[in-house]
Structure 1
Amino acid sequence: MTENEISTKIIGLAIEVHRILGPGLLENAYKECLFYKINKSGLFVEKEKALPLIFEEVKLDCGYRVDLLVEKKFVIEIKSVESLNEIHLAQTLTYLKLGKFKLGLLINFNEILLKNGIRRVVNNL
């Protein structure tokens, strides 16, 4: 499955979760529910996947963790904030770069209409 196909599937699942829960919950509630839906759909998903930082020859565990990593190649960063800003996009792009992943989604579940809270983030490797 390509990153674009995964993206399409994840957006559909996120919309299902949002339709049931609505906005206003903590980030962790959305993460757990989306993790469950992705797993149930048959895709391989890891939660709180650690990403080390490699500086020169040294591998550093700096505590970077991707909210959800799908099929070992697609990053999902989940937020529940008033609005997304540049630091959220930068964080997601950093995860893509550290893991050498091509594509990810930044999803803010604290929106009345979820499509307004979804951003595709691309790493131009």
Structure 2
Amino acid sequence: MNIENKLATEVIGASIKVHKYLGPGLLESAYKECLYYELKKSGLNVKKEEKLPLLYEDVELDCGYRLDILVDNKLIVEVKAVAEINDIHLAQMLTYLKLSECKLGLLINFNVLLLKSGIKRLINNIE
């Protein structure tokens, strides 16, 4: 989990940089693109809109799940620009963690005055 924590620290730093530059009030897609750019620029292995299949009876099914940002195949970043994070957003991230092999996810809501109040860290405890 040390690698995931290190990655999360880098992602949070890049998120703060993006938020300071853009501020709140833009579309989710704008924050996602800027964060993706910052993470790529820093040299991390980053994928955007990565497909996340559902494994059912040893068959991979494409159910339309897409990860906003996947960092080093270890950390899921879900970008939001909403009035507030609610249970459906948490359920979404927990589903992504359950379906992937990732142990850590960051749910980042950019539509806040102070970004640290918009970050939720979720851990996949299922082994």
CA distance in 2 between counterparts of 1:86 and 1:63 reads 20
Superposition pairs of residues 77-116 of structure 1, within 5 angstroms: 77-116=78-117
Query: What residue is the counterpart of 1:40 in the other structure?
Result: 41
Alignment length (residue pairs): 125
Superposition pairs of residues 7-86 of structure 1, within 5 angstroms: 7-86=8-87
CA distance in 2 between counterparts of 1:33 and 1:60 reads 30
- Identical residues among aligned pairs (%): 61
Gap runs ≥5 in structure 1: none
Q: Normalised by the size of structure 1, how large is the TM-score?
A: 0.97
CA RMSD of aligned residues (A): 0.9
Residues 79-122 of structure 1 deviation map (CA, whole Å, 9 limit, x = unaligned)? 00000001101101111111121001000000010101000010
Give, in angstroms, the shift of residue 58 of structure 1: 2.2
Q: Normalised by the size of structure 2, how large is the TM-score?
A: 0.96
Counterpart code for 1:30: Y
CA distance in 2 between counterparts of 1:35 and 1:93 reads 21
Gap runs ≥5 in structure 2: none
Poorly superposed stretches of 4+, deviation over 4 Å: none
CA distance in 2 between counterparts of 1:71 and 1:101 reads 10
CA distance in 2 between counterparts of 1:3 and 1:57 reads 28
CA distance in 1 between counterparts of 2:60 and 2:13 reads 36
Counterpart code for 2:32: K
Q: Which moved more, 1:13-22 or 1:51-60?
A: 51-60
CA distance in 2 between counterparts of 1:86 and 1:26 reads 21
CA distance in 2 between counterparts of 1:47 and 1:98 reads 17
Give, in angstroms, the shift of residue 57 of structure 1: 2.3
